[in-house]
Structure 1
Amino acid sequence: MVLLLEELKVYNEQAPNDLANYPKTKIKISSFLKRNDRYYFINRFNNVIIEDYTDSKAGKSITKNILEVIVEFIKDSYSSLVLRNQIPENQLENYEAYLSTNNKSLNQELKDGVYLSFKSFFEQTPSSQHTLEKNKKGEVKKIVNNQDLKISISEVFCYVDNGKAYRITPVGFLEMKKDENGFYILSSRTQLFAQKAGTGAMIGGIAGGMVGVLVGAAIDSESNKGVAKGFGFKTPTITKVYIDPLTGAFIFTE
């Protein structure tokens, strides 16, 4: 397994909607399986962590968070499924652009329907077993299966209606808008993070499979269905939260 530390930056910043000038840590780290000079993407952590402390305690908290992220990321990578697409060694530094060419959700018109996983959204293959039910105003009220039974929204990654995608979050479905950096929703850490920091859980973690044994599906179907957990202070600041084009995880950039 090869780890690629792409960015590690500690700084102070008061984002446009932040309540204070917070210490922050930007971490971007990726993992790959190497076989015969070919690389296969496993997973990545790509987020900004905010510290609640602004005094001498901030340094200790930053160090603790960096350590926890890296340790949990390595552990998570050893139990993750591997992207089947090969990356030549000379393309490793450009792996995101290289792999994103296969992301149909970014490169074609979205197909209407229900997507039970990020993998299905990535490949633009909506479920043939599920449909949207709307009220007289045309608003989506529930999702049903082919037995006309309502399913839990926790079983859904997103749905697309009239060409617009809506991502499941703890506060309901939010529209996924798109800019030059990809899909994003407008939300906050308070809304998206289910538990407090220090739980040892990863953002966008992928479960199942054995590295070196299984080179399997692009994204595990169980990934990202539930509420993401994260590190650091959960601020109510509303920002653009991007959807990782390779994992479906939430990415905070400020």
Structure 2
Amino acid sequence: MKKIILFLLFSVVVSAQKTQYIELRNSIKDKNHIAKSLTLLDKREDKNIGIVSHRKDPYEVKFEKDDLEKLFSDWFSEDNKIKGSTPYFLMLEDLKVNDIVNGSSASGHLEMKVSTFLKKGDNYYFLKKSTVSKTYRQRDHAYITRIVAAKIGSELATIIKDSYAEPVVDIPLAETDLSNYQKLIIERLPVFKAESFIDGVYKDYKSFAEQKPDKELEVRKNKDGIIKGVKRVDGYDNLGKDVFAIIDNGIAYKKTPTGIIEIEKDNDGIFITASEEELFPEGNTYTITGAAMGGVIGGLVGGIIDVTNSAARKKNAKYFRIGIDPLTGEYILPESFDKYK
């Protein structure tokens, strides 16, 4: 009798559970007609996405169709009537949602990790990686389940569209390497292999990782040898130029809104030691999300702090180890670094 009652209760719960579909409606049009196709590589160990509740009603979050490879292929074909010659691949590494209950209120949480590749011959080449970890509170969103599903669709569309114009990391990978792509790429990137850095100005993280400085830019110093910005090699100042990092006398520096901070390297990767105020000063318009999107924050303008004054600098604030993602250059913030979240 107990088994019958439990079965009936389970049936009621299942029948009461509703579904929130992830709609792939955002445009993924390749305006330059480079992409030939888009293939989904679903590497998730658990294919179930999870449940997010609207008020007290549980909704299972799902894609519109079970055949995901066809779903993504059709999405690409609908938006790209004129096709190019390069096959693109979207690898879904993680996708989970769940409820977070706090007293009488509940929030919806999303965890997602996706990466993109293109294929040349028999080899795959890494393009981009996107990681989302976000909580949606009931007081901020009237319909959390729809917000979460919409975020998944928009994030997938964004990384696909961005990937069309993204320069490849020039490290060939076999198909069997894709499940372990990050470790293999890191092992081969010059910035991790080399014992020293190459002097110069680096406009983005990929050029820094490959240790290929910009040939048109150089470090600008004052008469005392203090770094003040960057300039063009032909003598014209280029102070508003966005850059990722500069390397001077073998020492690498990361630009922040308040100055430049030395980039260090150990067995765990590359990182900077910085305070919250240095990365996100009061009154600065840059957000923690903007900083994470590649780590490029403004040009190397005049008035940069004296980097030799690091001893005095460390007496006046609480400092954190801020990792730099080895594939994207984004900041990896510690959990305690939450002032601006």
The normalised TM-score by structure 2 is: 0.50
Whichever residue aligns with residue 243 of structure 1, its letter is: I
Question: Bigger radius of gyration, 1 or 2?
Answer: 2
Question: Which segments of 5 or more consecutive residues in structure 1 lack a partner in the other structure?
Answer: 14-21, 205-223, 228-237
Structure 2 counterpart of 1:132, from 217, 220, 223:
220
Distance 1:54 1:177 in 2: 41
Q: 2:325 — aligned with what? A: 244
Measured against aligned partners, the alpha-carbon deviations of 1:109-156 in whole angstroms (never above 9, x if no partner) come to 1123322333332222334551330453x5322323334333225332
Counterparts in 2 of 1:161 and 1:11: CA distance versus 1, 3 Å? farther
Gaps of 5+ in 2: 1-87, 101-106, 299-318, 336-341
Higher relative contact order (CA 8 A, sep 6+): 1
CA RMSD, Structure 1 to Structure 2 (Å)? 3.9
Equivalent residue runs for 1:162-241 within 5 Å:
162-185=249-272, 186=274, 190=280, 194=286, 203-204=293-294, 240-241=321-322
**As a proportion of its length, which structure holds more helix?**
2
Distance 2:285 2:140 in 1: 26
Distance 1:43 1:29 in 2: 8
SS in 2 for 1:125: coil
Does the residue aligned with 1:248 lie in a helix, a strand or coil? coil
CA shift in 2, pair 1:38/1:8, >3 Å:
same
Matched, 1:90 2:171: no
Number of residue equivalences: 213
Q: Partner residue of 1:65?
A: 151
* Aligned counterpart for 1:26 among listed residues 74, 93, 111: 111
Structure-2 separation of matches of 1:144 and 1:92: 40
* 2:69 alignment partner in structure 1: none
Displacement after TM superposition at 1:31 (Å):
1.0
Quick one: which amino acid aligns to residue 203 of structure 1? M
State percent identity of aligned pairs.
30
Check the 8 A contact 1:47/1:252 in 2, yes or no. no
Q: 1:167 to 1:73 in 2, by over 3 A?
A: same
The more displaced of 176-185 and 69-78 is: 176-185
1:215 is matched with which residue?
Answer: none
Once residues 193 and 121 of structure 1 are traced to their aligned partners in structure 2, the CA distance between those partners, rounded to angstroms, is 26
The residue aligned with 1:148 is 235
Secondary structure at the aligned position of 2:93 is classed as strand
CA distance in 2, matches of 1:48, 1:124: 30
Pair 41,156 (structure 1): closer, same or farther in 2 beyond 3 Å:
same
Task: Determine if contact 1:154/1:225 at 8 Å carries over to the other structure.
Answer: no
Q: Distance in 2 between matches of 1:120 and 1:79?
A: 15
Match of 1:39 in 2: 124
1:93 Cα shift? 0.7
Q: Distance in 2 between matches of 1:143 and 1:105?
A: 21
Query: Does the 8 Å CA contact 1:142/1:150 hold for their aligned counterparts?
Result: no
Shift of 1:242: 3.4
Contact preservation (8 Å) 1:114, 1:132: no
Q: TM-score, normalised by structure 1?
A: 0.64
Determine helix, strand or coil for the equivalent of 1:247: coil
